[in-house]
Structure 1
Amino acid sequence: MADRRGRHRAVLRALLDAHGRTYAEEAGIRLRDTPQPLYQLLVLSVLLSARIRSAAAVGAARELFDAGLRDPRRMAGATWQQRVDALGRGGYRRYDESTSTRLGDGAELILREYGGDLRRLRDAADNDAALRRLLQTVPGLGPTGADIFLREVQRVWPEVAPRLGDKALQGAHRLGLPDDEEELLRLAENADPAALSAALVRAALDKSVADELTGDDLSSG
């Protein structure tokens, strides 16, 4: 048992070292509990929730932000074609037209209902389930997108932490780790849960991540 727990810890340490970067960090979002970066994370979550490579979603988010569409007012004020063009430059071509529409509609909803500030959405929810429901009123943000947003935002919204989520648990299973959130957090020894969940999600999405971390040369200490 002790040897197995030691090996699990070694796998998690190696996973975090190699892949423990949040998707927000990868997209260049300096996440803080302020309106603009929270909105940028919401946009990224919409993009990541489609059936498309995460690299394309991250690239498309970067292109949107580089085009100045960093807050809901600018997103809503951009033309549909401007959003399509930015998404295309990021490699988000399969869903670019429908996603452009959703991003415009979502920005208008956030401006209308929350004055452009997602902290007001958070404050309107009195529990985790209500928060997930409100997030899913944003066009293009279903259960998967809400999970992505909450996994990443827990770094600045401690009231929703710690959480790993179902996709992270799938990654843990692929790595031969316990598929229990509390046990994984204990084994990770105070690791940032946002970084841990992102690393485990990468293992779920990319078999090569698991292959590189489950070889016989990993230390059990």
Structure 2
Amino acid sequence: MTSTKGRAEAVLDRHGQTFAEQAGIKLADRPSPLYRLLVLSTLLSARISSDIAVSAARELSKAGFRTPQKMAGATWQQRVDALGRGHYRRYDERTSSMLGDGAELLLDRYGGDLRRLHDDTAGVDELERRLQEFPGIGPSGAAIFCREVQGVWPDVHPYVDSRARDGAERLGLPKSAEKLAEMVSKDDFPRLVAACLRASRDKSVVDDVKKAAGDD
């Protein structure tokens, strides 16, 4: 039986990859990676597997749609084709429209720079609300964005939404954001929260961690 801190380290070691990392996004407080995270959050919001959403995000990046300018400048069919290459076919047409509209909104309202949105918000609650103004971003999409962005926007840390808290509980970790943050370094916290989210969706993650922790 391992300690709670040891369990957190096992979770990080075995499942601690953020969705941004999985999608090939080197997250930083710069316009392009922040925009790519917004796109990824939009894709992950649909009722579709996270692996397919990540694959679609990679294909959109490969197609050159890494900024709102490039996304807005692409044709609807070009976006559909990129989503299709990522096997994001069930929602490809609707999502293509949402991505185009969202890029236009970001350009018109914030000059294409999500840092302006960040600077214009007073607290996490307002940040979540502003994010939900983008097409395709609901409460779950805003939570995805906040979970990942807290690594580069320190004022968002420590952020844990209800689904990640459920996963933390299943993994035998604290549900409180503050107590969970004590388990790992600030840099590693987004990875831990992503692993908790995976545990809330996939029992095999919980079983794997329990086995590694000697709970069998």
- Normalising by structure 1, we get a TM-score of 0.92
Contact 1:7 1:219 in 2 (8 A): no
Give, as a single letter, the amino acid of the residue that structure 2 aligns with 1:43: V
Displacement after TM superposition at 1:188 (Å): 3.6
The 1-side partners of 2:196 and 2:31 are apart by 28
**CA-CA distance at 1:219 after TM superposition:** 5.2
Moved over 4 A (4+): none
Residue 44 in structure 1 maps to residue 40 in structure 2:
yes
Q: Structure 1 191/119 Cα, relative in aligned 2: closer, same or farther at 3 Å?
A: closer
Shift of 1:189: 6.0
Contact 1:175 1:214 in 2 (8 A): yes
Check if 1:218 corresponds to 2:213: yes
- TM superposition shift of 1:45: 0.6
Answering whether residue 180 of structure 2 is matched by residue 164 of structure 1, we say no
8 A Cα contact 1:80 1:100, kept in partner: yes
Q: Does 1:202 align with 2:210?
A: no
Label 1:218 to 1:126 Cα distance change in 2 as closer, same or farther (>3 A): closer
Q: Secondary structure at the match of 1:134?
A: helix
Output the aligned Cα RMSD: 1.6
Structure 1 residue 180 displacement after superposition: 2.1
Pair 213,76 (structure 1): closer, same or farther in 2 beyond 3 Å: same
> In structure 1, which of residues 78, 100, 120 is the aligned counterpart of residue 96 of structure 2?
100
Work out the number of aligned pairs and report it: 215
Matches within 5 A, 1:167-182: 167-182=163-178
Query: Structure 1 CA distance, aligned partners of 2:184 and 2:65?
Result: 36
CA drift of 1:207 comes to: 1.1
1:191 to 1:65, Cα distance in 2 relative to 1, 3 A: closer
Q: What does the per-residue CA deviation read over 1:172-203, in whole Å, with 9 as the maximum and x for residues that have no partner? A: 12223332222222234656211111111111
- 1:31 equivalent in structure 2: 27
Give the whole-Å Cα distance in 2 for the aligned partners of 1:45 and 1:17. Answer: 24
- Give the conservation status (yes or no) of the 8 Å contact 1:164–1:193: no
Paired residue for 2:151?
Answer: 155
For residues 191 and 101 of structure 1, the distance between their equivalents in structure 2, rounded to whole angstroms, comes to 35
In the superposition, relative to structure 1, how do residues 186 and 52 fare at CA in structure 2: closer, same or farther (>3 Å)?
A: same
Distance 1:187 1:127, change over 3 A: closer
In structure 2, the CA distance between the partners of 1:22 and 1:111, relative to structure 1 (3 Å rule), is same
The offset of 1:88, in angstroms, is 1.1
Aligned to 1:117: 113
Measured in 2, the distance between the counterparts of 1:191 and 1:25 equals: 13
Which of 142, 145, 154 is residue 146 of structure 1 equivalent to?
A: 142
Unaligned runs of 5+ in 2: none
Give the conservation status (yes or no) of the 8 Å contact 1:185–1:191. Answer: no
Residue identity in the other structure for 1:37: P
**CA–CA separation in structure 2 for the residues paired with 1:175 and 1:127:** 29
**TM-score calculated relative to the size of structure 2:** 0.94
Q: Equivalent pairs: percent with the same residue?
A: 57
Q: Which amino acid aligns with 2:131?
A: L
Structure 1: 5+ residue runs without aligned partners?
none
Q: Is the 8 A contact 2:151 2:186 kept in 1?
A: no
The worse-fitting range, judged by mean Cα deviation, of 164-173 and 105-114 is: 164-173
Structure 2: how far apart are the matches of 1:153 and 1:190? 12
